Amino acid sequence: MTKTAQPYHKTSLEQFTPEAQEAIRARSLTGNWDLNRLIKVLGELAHFDEVNEKATGKALGWTIGFFVLAFLSIFAGAILGEVFNTALFWLLLPAFIGLGIWRLIQYKKLKKMDLINDFRICLRPALKDLAQDIDRGQKIKVNMDLSGPVDAKKKSKMEIPPGSYIKVEETIYEDPWCEVRLPLVDGTTAVVEFHVTWHKLDVKKRGRRGKIKWKTKWRKECTARATLMPPQSIQWKEDSLRDRADSRLEKVKMVDKDGVTCARMERYWKFKGASDVPADAPPSREVVGLLLRLHSAMVAPPEVRS
Amino acid sequence: MSCMANAGLLVLRPCGQPAAGGCSQCGKPLCLMHMAGGTCPECMAMGGQWEDSEAGREAATRNNYYNTYGGGDEYGSATYFSSGDRGSMGPGVPSFSGSSADDYDPFDT
């Protein structure tokens, strides 16, 4: 059951386990984990991210509100100053500007702590669905970068043909944010990798009244790649696997790892966002669906280890 | 006899714990944990009564995945029978009861 996100303030990071605190500060999670511990820490991170997102939205709302009030206080200062014959109302203007700047700084700070949503929308539910298939005696190897589209991941920034706009500038971020290696009870290793390509489009356009406007649009292209590595060479029902793949969105490939033939499936998703990065992520069901089809394509799967 | 309630999603297998009774609907042998709801998780999921039981929820999730993606093992596929099942069907294996006619005692209760 999902807990309702509770309000928190700066010091309340202490409510989380040390591992979760470390992951929030570093905006990454790596190492070898027990399944239960990993699900718990991801749960804490999910809770933090939900609350942080709400607080970010609230801070932005207040920032806009205070700057609007600052603008209105110019008229208020002039009118009320005339009526009551005092200059005191002019103090409203710097007061609202000050409050607006304070909230803007708060907004920027919260935004810097924002985590990519995919781990809570996609990865954690998928791990819960696969819990019974994971060998509890072994560790899950995790390498996650939760920071989303940051400058370090910027791949290119260039102008593209503007079409009906005045100017369009595209910034591309490459974000291979996650790799998890799941040891299954039959000795097979399931490797799931997620890659996101973020496209940020800064569009310069002319409004209806001829005013020049800037607008930002985001596009998020996600790829999930699931590879099943059996403990020893086995045969695969390759044709059946290819038949069961959705050829518009999925690819099937047989790969060789240390002399063992492994099967790989890749699926692609695309999401759009208006002024902010898209909050959507691949549905966990569709990622588990890749593993399910891969596993059922083994001609004779390995026996379950006792 | 061991519990025949299914476990897993990718690696579908019987629970394997010692059976303590049977499902009131299908008669499948069940362990204490899987007998908590009276019926096996699969019957719970089929009857839509899975919400109160963790095992029932897992069975319903599994059905849902299998309905969408196939998977699990279907009759006719190489993995439908476990190694135990295959062993019991091989040549020279004693009959189901494991006893011959001479062992029969009508007064044995």
pLDDT in tens, A45-90: 999 999 999 999 999 999 999 999 999 989 888 888 888 888 888 8
B9 contacts A296? CB cut-off 8 A? no
B71 touches chain A (CB under 8 A): yes
Provide the phi-psi class of A139: left if phi over 0, else alpha when psi is between -120 and 50, else beta: beta
* pLDDT tens-digit series, residues A241-265: 898 888 889 999 999 988 899 999 9
Q: How far is CA A98 from CA A94, A112, A158, in A?
A: 6, 21, 36
Tally C-beta pairs within 8 A across A and B: 58
Give how far A186 is from chain B: nearest CA, Å. Answer: 7
Q: What are phi and psi of A21, to 5 degrees?
A: -60, -45
pTM: 0.80
CB-CB neighbors (< 8 A) of B8 in chain A: 132-133, 185
Mean pLDDT of B73-88: 47
A303 contacts B70? CB cut-off 8 A? no
* pLDDT tens-digit series, residues B25-53: 888 899 988 887 788 888 888 887 777 78
Give how far B86 is from chain A: nearest CA, Å. Answer: 13
Nearest to B2 by CA among B38, B28, B24, B26: B28
Mean pLDDT of A186-202: 95
> Highest mean pLDDT: which of A136-150, A156-170, A241-255?
A136-150
B11 contacts A129? CB cut-off 8 A? no
Residue B105: what pLDDT?
A: 52
| pLDDT > 50? residue B78 | no
CB-CB neighbors (< 8 A) of A130 in chain B: 9-10
CB-CB neighbors (< 8 A) of B68 in chain A: 285, 289
Measured CA to CA, the distance from residue B10 to residue B70 in angstroms comes to 11
Question: Which residue in B11, B15, B52 has the most chain A C-beta atoms within 10 A of its own C-beta, making it the best mutation to test that interface?
Answer: B11
The 10 Å Cβ neighbour count of residue A49 is 20
Residue A45 in tokens? 């991170």
* pLDDT tens-digit series, residues A2-23: 455 555 555 478 889 999 999 9
B24 touches chain A (CB under 8 A): no
Q: Is B71:A292 a contact under the CB 8 Å cutoff?
A: yes
Q: What are phi and psi of A155, to 5 degrees?
A: -100, -40
- In A, minimum Cα distance to B16 occurs at A306
B11 contacts A304? CB cut-off 8 A? yes
